[in-house]
């Protein structure tokens, strides 16, 4: 799992936006609910290429905040919604940007799910992606000669589901990593 996370780099997705304000119910349902998420690996992802003597580590999340199901849509329980995002993580391990494909074409209700996802994902924190450079001395002993942190990106799918006016959170299958 960590190899794909470690070497993930920026994938270009379209972003945009326009909004509409939906009608809000008189009372917010008691169950605001959360969502499920899983990592999504895009086949077009560009990876850092490590040279001989380079080792990458980090790039793993250590703080995650779950998006809250938009309470204004719970009463009419729309069909399940998946929001695919690309989180751009800076050299300090903080989410710098959250990109959502086809956001510009999203209707007002979908924009509520996108906003909930973005708000939560911006609070995630990752161990910085660090590339260490190693060399061997005359005796064959290895020594770290330098290191640097790099920005990276990871794709995630957030799944929102509602049943009977209540948000449902369930396990999402995690893709296999090699």
Is residue 56 a contact partner of residue 87, using CB atoms and an 8 Å limit?
no
**What per-residue confidence (pLDDT) applies to 61?**
92
Query: Does position 178 have pLDDT exceeding 50, yes or no?
Result: no
Domain chopping of the chain, boundaries: 2-16+32-135+144-167
- Of residues 101, 128, 96, 137, the one with CA closest to residue 5: 128
Q: Which is more confident, 41 or 54? A: 54
**Rounded to whole angstroms, how far apart are CA atoms 59 and 149?**
10
The percentage of the chain sitting over the pLDDT mark of 90, rounded to a whole number, equals: 47
| Alpha-carbon separation of residue 39 from 2, 51, 66, 71 (angstroms) | 12, 26, 14, 25
Give the CATH fold of the 2-16+32-135+144-167 domain. TolA/TonB C-terminal domain (3.30.2420)
Is residue 13 a contact partner of residue 154, using CB atoms and an 8 Å limit?
no
**What per-residue confidence (pLDDT) applies to 35?**
60
The pLDDT tens digits for 14-34 are: 223 333 333 333 333 333 445
The pLDDT tens digits for 77-124 are: 999 999 999 999 999 999 999 999 889 999 999 999 999 999 999 999
- Of residues 40, 44, 12, 112, the one with CA closest to residue 72: 112
pTM (2 decimals)? Answer: 0.70
């Amino acid at each position: 799992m960590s190899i794909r996370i470690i070497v993930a780099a920026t994938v270009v997705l379209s972003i945009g936006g326009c909004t509409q304000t939906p009608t809000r119910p008189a009372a917010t349902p008691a169950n605001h609910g959360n969502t499920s998420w899983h990592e999504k690996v895009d086949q077009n992802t560009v990876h850092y290429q490590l040279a001989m003597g380079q080792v990458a580590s980090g790039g793993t999340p250590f703080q995650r905040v779950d998006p809250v199901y938009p309470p204004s849509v719970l009463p009419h329980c729309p069909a399940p919604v998946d929001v695919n995002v690309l989180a751009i993580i800076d050299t300090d391990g903080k989410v710098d940007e959250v990109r959502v494909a086809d956001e510009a074409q999203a209707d007002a209700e979908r924009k509520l799910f996108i906003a909930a996802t973005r708000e939560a994902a911006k609070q995630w924190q990752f161990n910085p992606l660090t590339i260490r450079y190693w060399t061997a001395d005359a005796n064959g002993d290895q020594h770290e000669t330098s290191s640097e942190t790099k920005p990276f990106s990871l794709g995630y799918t957030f799944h929102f589901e509602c049943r009977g006016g209540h948000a449902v959170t369930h396990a999402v299958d995690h893709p296999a990593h090699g």
